[in-house]
Amino acid sequence: MVATCEPPKRPRAQTKKRQSKFVPDDQRKRPYRMSVTQKKSRQEFKEHESKVFNLTLDINDLKQQVQYLLECRDLQITCLLQTRQRLEAAVLGTVDKILFGGSDRPRSGDEGCSFSRMFMDQSDGSTPSNGIYEFCLQLDKPNFNHRSCTIATTQVLSVVEEDPEGDNQDTAEVRKICDVPGSCLVEAVGEFTGRFTRQIIVSMFPHVLSDEMMVAQIIGLSITCPARLLLYFNAHRTIVRQIAQADVFAALAALQQAKPQEFAAIMGTAAA
């Protein structure tokens, strides 16, 4: 008997044969075959889904473009507003120099400005229906003695832009006068105070000249008129036109209370 080192052989497990299970006909799964109509419907649905997906991408892209354009518009508007603010600040600084000499010291609200080199010359001889006379400021020919003006408010009324479609009435008027983008209209509102001179009597109340004694009493009388100064600036901050409006009838009403005899003499023949 010969000894060997081989492991002992294990008995093989018996394999079970797979047996097919019988499935009744009513439970058997048959392969599904689509009809031509179903295949066409499924293909159309896939195409529809593809179009919807592409349209969704296009819409999202358009939304991004619109958002970008809105941001560009807001940025442009901000730049225009900053430019306009700088323009208004520069123009108001120029007006301050014209009216007050550009002093940096604080001023009270009722501090007056000097018109020592200007006079108010009536530009229209007829009496306006609203009682507001319009005057043009000129140089070195004073009509009023001891005249001064108190400015209450100063503001920029309108600025000429590149596009004339958005112009209001004031802006359209400024565009006619200056016709340059960057031009503007500045309004200064306050009171004008001055004393009557013979030139004023000749230009506004010539019927009083026949009574020299009354003329002598009127000359030197002080009147205070609500005043409105309009300054038209071009893009270089140069004044191209200046207009002063004064409510003469308001001043005469105050004169009637203070000097009824002189007021009657001034208005008597005019009323007749």
Q: Which pair of tokens denotes residue 84?
A: 């306009």
Give me the mean pLDDT over the 219-226 stretch. Answer: 80
pLDDT of residue 41: 86
Asked if residue 249 lies in contact with residue 131, where contact means CB atoms within 8 angstroms, the answer is yes
Q: What is the pLDDT of residues 106-123, one digit of tens each?
A: 554 444 444 433 334 334
Residue 30 has pLDDT above 60, yes or no: yes
* DSSP three-state, residue 263: helix
pLDDT of residue 161: 83
Q: Which pair of tokens denotes residue 68?
A: 């970008």
Residue 268 has pLDDT above 80, yes or no: no
Q: What is the pLDDT of residues 117-174, one digit of tens each?
A: 333 433 444 544 544 444 444 434 445 555 567 788 889 988 888 877 778 887 888 8
What is the C-alpha end-to-end distance of the chain, expressed in Å? 169
pLDDT of residue 63: 94
Give me the mean pLDDT over the 14-31 stretch. Answer: 67
Q: What is the pLDDT of residues 33-81, one digit of tens each?
A: 778 888 888 888 888 898 999 999 999 999 999 999 999 999 999 998 8
pLDDT of residue 114: 42
- How many residues are there in the chain? 272
pLDDT of residue 101: 67
DSSP 172-203: HHHHHHH-STT-EEEEEEEEEEEE--HHHHHH
Q: What is the pLDDT of residues 169-205, one digit of tens each?
A: 878 888 888 878 888 899 988 887 878 788 877 877 7
> Measured between alpha carbons, how far is residue 264 from residues 130, 214, 260 in Å?
21, 11, 6
In the chain, the amino acid numbered 116 is S
